[in-house]
Structures are given as C-alpha cells and as structure tokens.
Structure 1
C-alpha cells in the first residue's frame, strides 16, 4: 500500500507541475492576439502607463487619455472610438489629446 500511495502522489505532483508549467504558454498565446491601444481606456481602467508621475495599471486620470493604453484584440484598436484622438479612434502609439 505504501508503494501505491507513493506512486499516486508522484503522479499527482507531476500532473500539477505540468499544468503550472503550461500556464505561462497559454497566457503568451492569448497576449499574441492582443495589442496596446492608446486613448481608449476610461479613467483608472488602463492596463499600464499613464504618463509622467504615474505607475502602471489603473493610474489614468481621465477617460481616453492619450498616453494610457488598454490591451485590445489585434486589429480592433483603430476601430475603437476615442473622444480625444486626432482621428476619433484608438491609436497604436501615444498621442497628444485634442479637446473632448
């Protein structure tokens, strides 16, 4: 019984390790289908970077801030409305905001 218990424990541990090891790959695959889109995040809802004096996620100080971005599905950024963008849509690079 001791050998059976040890084999079962080893199999369980190996399965758990393989699951944990595969998680970053799955996250990378998902991120490969995403892109940074500037000017579409709402106040405090950006994924990262919101200009000088800020840290990262959740630090944008206004809606559609030109230097704050959110991750969106690839190909949708420049189709997503932005009230402050010169084109009226999200941008793939930070931009100087126009009046909303």
Structure 2
C-alpha cells in the first residue's frame, strides 16, 4: 500500500471518529442521568455497584442509572437526578 493511500485512509478514519463523537454529544443534549429506576440488566453505564451498562443486578438498584429527557426523572417515583 502506498503512502498516499494510507494517508487518505487515516484521514477518513479520523473524520468518521470525530463525526461519531459529535453525534453522541448531540444525543446527550437535553438528557439527564436518573438513578434508582433502571430495570435489572438495563442500566446505561457504570455505577458504584458495577462496571458497565447492563450490569444492574436488580430492579431500581441504587446508583444504577439510565438517561432520560431532562425534567423526566423528577416525575418518576424513586427517581433521583445524578448531579455529579
């Protein structure tokens, strides 16, 4: 593979990475973390009790959170907005 082709491939890969990160940031806009309402195995990411998404061991596990539209968490019984 020649240097020009490798450089082009690297530039395309970099552009796709940046675009993906921007899309993720836009998805997060207007959302908030809501803990204490996730079903077992349905939490969005790490909490004090586990290391990654989908690892909550019981329904409404304290510390296990999901992303919800901003303002929604306060309307859910048992929901607490994660502010940290």
| Same fold flag (TM > 0.5) | yes
Residue in 1 that maps onto 2:68 = 72
Residue in 1 that maps onto 2:82 = 93
Is this contact kept in 1: 2:32–2:82, CA < 8 A?
no
Greater Cα radius of gyration, structure 1 or 2: 1
1:65 is paired with a residue whose SS is: coil
Aligned-residue RMSD, C-alpha? 2.3
Q: How many residues align?
A: 72
Residue in 1 that maps onto 2:24 = 27
1:48 is paired with a residue whose SS is: coil
Is this contact kept in 2: 1:46–1:60, CA < 8 A?
yes
Gaps of 5+ in 2: 1-7
Report 1 or 2 for greater relative contact order, CA contacts < 8 Å, sequence distance ≥ 6.
2
Task: Tell me the distance in 2 between the aligned counterparts of 1:35 and 1:93.
Answer: 7
What's the TM-score once normalised by structure 1's chain length?
0.59
Task: Tell me the distance in 1 between the aligned counterparts of 2:59 and 2:34.
Answer: 13
Matched, 1:48 2:37: no
